[in-house]
Amino acid sequence: MHLAFNGWPLARGGEPEGALHLTDLLERLPALAPQHRYTLLVPSGGPSMSYPGVAVGLVPAGNGEWARLWFEQGRFPRQAASRKADLLYYPYPAAPTASPTPVAAWHGCGEARLLQRRPLGRLRATLGIAGLSGAAAEIFIGLGGSSDGAARRRTVPPMAPRAFDPAEQKEDYERRARYDLPSSYVLADGAGLEEIEVLLAGWTWVDSAMGDSISLVVLSRSWPTTSLVRSRAMALDLDLSVRAVERVKSEDLPAVYRGAEAFLFGGWGHGREAVCRALACGLAIVGIESPEAAILLGPAAYLVPALDARRLGAACLTVLVEPDVRERLRSRAREQGAPLRADGPLRALLGHLESIVERQAKPRL
């Protein structure tokens, strides 16, 4: 099997979740399945990159949404076909509307969302989402484990990049310093706009007790998120203890996670993949309960009823001021998070990709 990967997130950014996932695949798949061929196709003019066992090819492309549209919809599929790839892999929810080669698209924990505000960005995103209807497979993280290989919508067990190891790395301090993070902080990542309200309402209880010694760091990937965090924090008089941090590079994200005292989430919506990373990283997790959260996290998290900001804040405060509670949650998270970084989920993903190619190769009767 010859896999061709869409490397736009590594060369141009714009898809931090996709860059994390793609880097993990490129670093691990050649060792896990050396019988296959792997090609990474990236737009020209970006940083040089290499991965053992992976051929890297440059595709002429500029910058911006127009260049990305042509890369996703035409140049990447054509270049992969000319290299005789058996399957194209998009590490985020998008696909070309027409491709000479079958396509698999990674969704992770969530459905494709139309987040672009500018017309050209919306056009590119709309075409990418429309192309998913013709993809050979869309791959999701499923709490029930791996699905069979018959359906177009497929699932793999919960997984997280291997870089999210609980052990502190020697370069972590330097990576965190790039973002001027406070010395002690609780981390929130992947929150949707509606979940930010819950997070900040809950944080008022933490702020009143120890806001001068700890901060809430909310990672943001868009200006609307940053603007909402800052305006709501100001309105709630939390501006001294709440920080919105924009565009953390994918390679720095594990260090930012490892530096947190705890991880806080306000709902089982857009931030599910971030919760998987927090679990893999062995963080003490506090959040809103749901059937899905209970299945994934179990005793590795302090969960409270939905829409109860007071109890969310009280739970976070308990984790911060009671070392025994925090360490118990961390210990359980390290235990439950280890399988997310192991080879099992990756083998399930690889099995899906192999079955797609095998099915496409079978002659139709």
Coil, strand, or helix at residue 345? helix
d(CA 34, CA 38): 9
Residue reference for tokens 């695949």: 25
pLDDT of 359 reads: 86
Within a 13 Å sphere around the CA of 135, how many CA atoms are in the beta-carbon half?
29
Task: Determine, yes or no, domain membership for 28.
Answer: yes
User: How confident is the model at residue 365, as a pLDDT?
Assistant: 44
From the number of C-beta atoms within 10 Å of its C-beta (0-12, 13-18, 19+), residue 239 rates as: middle
- Both 88 and 232 in one domain: the answer is no
| Residue 54 bridge partners (DSSP) | 51
191/281 same-domain check = yes
Residue 16 confidence (pLDDT)? 81
Domain final residue pick, 110, 135, 160? 135
Number of other residues whose CB lies within 10 A of the CB of residue 245: 18
In a domain, 215, yes or no: yes
Question: pLDDT averaged over the chain?
Answer: 91
- Distance between CA atoms of residues 294 and 299, nearest Å: 8
Residue 202 sits in a domain whose CATH number is: 3.40.50.2000
Query: Is 198 found in the same domain as 97?
Result: no
Query: Other C-beta atoms within 10 Å of 8: how many?
Result: 28
Instruction: Tell whether 178 and 317 lie within a shared domain.
Output: yes
Do residues 252 and 116 share a domain? no
Q: Convert the pLDDT of each residue in 33-60 to its tens digit.
A: 999 999 999 999 888 899 999 999 999 9
Largest pairwise CA distance in the chain: 71
Residue where the block lists tokens 């079955």: 355
Same-domain pairing of 233 and 329: yes
Residue with tokens 């929130």: 188
The pTM for the full model equals: 0.91
Single residue among 113, 135, 157 that ends a domain in this structure: 135
Specify the amino acid at residue 47. Answer: P
* Strand 285-288 with 262-265, pairing: parallel
The confidence score (pLDDT) of residue 364 equals 47
pLDDT at 17: 83
Q: What is the per-residue pLDDT for 111?
A: 53
**Is there a contact between 257 and 176 (Cβ–Cβ < 8 Å)?**
no
Helix (H) / strand (E) element for 6: namely: strand 2-6
The predicted-structure confidence for 213-249, as pLDDT tens digits, reads as follows 999 999 998 888 899 999 999 999 999 999 999 989 9
Same domain, 126 and 237: no
The answer to whether position 310 is within a domain reads yes
62-85 pLDDT, tens digit per residue, is: 998 899 999 999 999 999 999 999
Residue 94 falls inside a structural domain:
yes
Q: Which of 106, 135, 164 delimits the end of a domain?
A: 135
Range of the domain at 284: 172-339
* Structure token pair of residue 183: 């010395």
Name residues whose C-beta falls within 8 Å of residue 208's C-beta, 6 or more positions apart in sequence: none
Residue 282 inside a domain? The answer is yes
DSSP 112: -
Task: Find, among 287, 285, 289, 243, the residue nearest to 263 by Cα.
Answer: 285
153 versus 334: which is more confidently predicted? Answer: 334
Q: Which two tokens stand for residue 192?
A: 């949707």
End-to-end C-alpha distance for the chain, whole angstroms? 23
- The backbone torsions φ and ψ at residue 186, rounded to the nearest 5 degrees and listed phi first, read -100, 140
Task: Give the Cα separation of 249 and 247 in Å (integer).
Answer: 6
The string of pLDDT tens digits covering residues 89-128 is: 999 999 999 999 999 999 886 655 545 557 887 888 889 9
**The dihedral of CA 248, 23, 174, 196: what is its sign?**
positive
- Whether residue 313 sits in one domain with residue 195: yes
189 and 66 within one domain: no
Quote the pLDDT of residue 115.
52
pLDDT band at 363 (very low <50, low <70, confident <90, very high): low
pLDDT digits (tens, 9 = 90+) for 125-183: 889 989 999 999 999 888 765 555 557 889 999 999 999 999 999 999 999 999 999 99
How many structural domains compose the chain? 2
Q: Is residue 156 part of a domain?
A: no
User: What DSSP designation does 240 have?
Assistant: T
Distance CA(270)–CA(285), nearest Å, equals 16
